[in-house]
Amino acid sequence: MSTATPSAPTNKLGMTKQDYVGSKSTLCAGCGHDSITGQIINAAFEMSIEGHRVAKYSGIGCSSKTPAYFLNQGWGFNGVHGRMPALATGASLANRTLVNIGISGDGDSMSIGTGQFVHAIRRNIPMIYIIEDNGVYGLTKGQFSATADKGSHLKNGAVNELPPIDPCTLAIELGCGFVARSFSGNPKQLNAILKAAFAYEGTAIIDVISPCVTFNNHDASTRSYKHVKDHDFPLHDLGFIQYSEVEDVEIPAGETEIVTFPDGSKVAIKAIHEGYDPTDRYIATKAIHESMQKGEFLTGLLYIHAKHAPLPELLNLVDEPLATLPQSAVKPGPEVLAAIMETLT
């Protein structure tokens, strides 16, 4: 299977990182989205995700093109603008054994697709839901998106007078059990968050600030590399320990908080920001609001509630994929039709 040199490191499946890549990116050089793609590849490789189980979904936008650039061993579905969650919903119900990765943009999720974002969270679709957030519509050449900060400028000088929608506080409000924010320029943090998201069973919302070098990287932008670097406040040092490695890893005592997922995997959260508790949604929400007022980006695992039944479980579906159930399991026999006809006479 492996196409790389024999010396390349392999994961538990015997795969090299090369086995997790996709087609060559066609985004602008330096686009934040490409860094996110890189971290998805790393996390999936390190987590030994089985490529054939992966289903990738996206809406429309530069961000939504990226599923073509990672995990070519998985199936991809680039759909219509703002409707990625409906695709993930349908396919995850058809086959509950899939590992679902949804990629969206701030335009895709916070304007045309806000309704689908909201309802995917409400139903707890089993998926990693990444918003590659650059504050603009990249693909349609730089219009404001609904996450643009009030007072921020477009390249052409236009000023945004409207308040932003914050996907993270919205997700927490909706009862999402996994809400994170990161920055495409902080690969280490993003890597840990992505791995934890792979271990999470329901909807894992990850808002990744991802600068658009072409339309929103100027001095007056609040989504430029420089501005975000200067205003990025990581909440904690995150360490992810997969269930299979829990035995081997020593978790330092002290301020480190441990969150354990149903499969046994753990995230070790070593606080940097004092008094922030990612398992308390009220404290988390308050802290996020305060930081936003100061123009800062709090990043890290903003809120985590490790066990939260995803939709296929709520619907009490059979364990095997519905898609491939044999006819005998889904087509009642002639005696059933006869009995029904009897009730209608």
Ligand X SMILES: Cc1ncc(C[n+]2csc(CCOP(=O)(O)OP(=O)(O)O)c2C)c(N)n1
134 makes contact with Mg ion (CB under 5 A): yes
* Interface residue with another protein, options 48, 95, 111, 285 (CB under 8 A): 95
Report the partner that residue 81 touches, choosing among ligand X, Mg ion, ligand SF4, none (CB closer than 5 to 8 A by kind): ligand X
Q: Residue 209 phi/psi, 5° resolution?
A: -65, 125
Find the binding residues for ligand SF4 in span 45-64 (CB under 6 A).
Answer: 62
Total chain residues near Mg ion (CB under 5 A): 4
**Taking the CB of residue 151, how many other CB atoms lie within 10 A of it?**
12
* Site track for ligand SF4 across 90-129, x = CB under 6 A: ----------------------------------------
CA distance 286 to 37: 31
77, with CB counted inside 10 A (0-12, 13-18, 19+), is middle
CA 300 to chain centre: 13
111 makes contact with another protein (CB under 8 A): no
207 makes contact with Mg ion (CB under 5 A): no
Per DSSP, helices labelled H in 140-186 are 167-173
* Interface residue with ligand SF4, options 198, 215, 240, 303 (CB under 6 A): 215
| Contact between 126 and 96 (Cβ < 8 Å) | yes
Pairing of strands 256-260, 236-241: unpaired
| Contact between 297 and 232 (Cβ < 8 Å) | yes
Rounded to a whole number of angstroms, the distance between the first and last alpha carbons of the chain is 61
**Among 18-26, 114-122, 136-144, 285-293, the segment contacting ligand X (CB under 6 A):** 136-144
* Interface residue with another protein, options 4, 28, 94, 283 (CB under 8 A): 94
Binding site for ligand SF4 (CB under 6 A): 27-28, 31, 33, 62, 134, 138-139, 212-215
Binding site for ligand X (CB under 6 A): 60-63, 81, 105-108, 132, 134, 136-140, 145
Binding site for Mg ion (CB under 5 A): 105-107, 134
